[in-house]
Amino acid sequence: AQTVTQSQPEMSVQEAETVTLSCTYDTSESDYYLFWYKQPPSRQMILVIRQEAYKQQNATENRFSVNFQKAAKSFSLKISDSQLGDAAMYFCAYRSGGAQGGSEKLVFGKGTKLTVNP
Amino acid sequence: DSGVTQTPKHLITATGQRVTLRCSPRSGDLSVYWYQQSLDQGLQFLIQYYNGEERAKGNILERFSAQQFPDLHSELNLSSLELGDSALYFCASSVLPNTDTQYFGPGTRLTVL
């Protein structure tokens, strides 16, 4: 079974600075997707960024980018120019690509609580 | 706003009772997923439906059941409720089962007293 590990329960960053959240995963599949979801105090789960495992290029979305290291099974999230509104729980998630008959469910890590200091 | 709606937002009930949570997927999405978020278990997949049929089951208790209706909305039924069932229940939807991105609703907060 696939597992996702977020080793940093809490992180803090100064406004306008850069922070990196770590995520590692374990899988024997070659076809899969990785995601970062943000959960602010409102509890809504918001998709931040996604990465297809077959793509070597790291995904970027405005101030958010990932460092995807497939061989190391690592998928970190970098937030540049941090803003107060970035304060939230961040969850890393794995989804099988389905080619090997894997489930389409999302497997989540336990989350990292990000605090942004003014 | 993801386009996925869930009702009610909050639900407070007593042990032993039965409740129904409702989810309407985004327009055009055929697949619906239910997840439970609790303090001790984190975010866990419960069950998935595609076009009215059950497609996958996760850590869903026998006291829980779900279905997806012809109009594609889904309901999660929780019965014989226990204190430990208190959690945030999310519904997510995607266009097709093998479409990569799942969009989440705002969740239903269930409190069992």
Q: Which of A103, A104, A110 sits opposite B42 (nearest CB)?
A: A110
Which pLDDT belongs to residue B59? Answer: 84
Cα angle A25, A31, A34 (rounded to 5 degrees) comes to 45
pLDDT digits (tens, 9 = 90+) for B29-62: 999 999 999 988 899 999 999 999 999 999 899 9
User: Residue B1 — very low, low, confident or very high, per pLDDT cuts 50/70/90?
Assistant: confident
- Spell out which residues of chain B touch residue A54, defining contact as CB-CB under 8 Å: none
Which pLDDT belongs to residue A102? Answer: 57
Which pLDDT belongs to residue A101? Answer: 59
Which pLDDT belongs to residue A92? Answer: 98
Q: What is the C-alpha radius of gyration for chain B, rounded to an integer number of angstroms?
A: 13
Under a CB-based contact definition with an 8 Å cutoff, are residues B104 and B4 in contact?
yes
Which pLDDT belongs to residue A100? Answer: 57
Q: Answer whether B91 touches A (CB < 8 Å).
A: no
Which pLDDT belongs to residue B35? Answer: 97
Q: Which of A47, A104, A111 sits opposite B103 (nearest CB)?
A: A47
CA B69 to centroid of chain Cα atoms? 14
Can you list the residues of chain A whose pLDDT is less than 50?
Answer: none
Which pLDDT belongs to residue B79? Answer: 97
pLDDT digits (tens, 9 = 90+) for B60-86: 999 999 999 999 999 999 999 999 999
Mean of pLDDT over chain B: 94
Kindly tell me the sign of the dihedral angle through the C-alpha atoms of A67, A70, A75, A76: negative
- Spell out which residues of chain A touch residue B39, defining contact as CB-CB under 8 Å: none
The contacts of residue B13 (CB under 8 Å, 6+ apart) are B19, B81, B110, B111, B112, B113
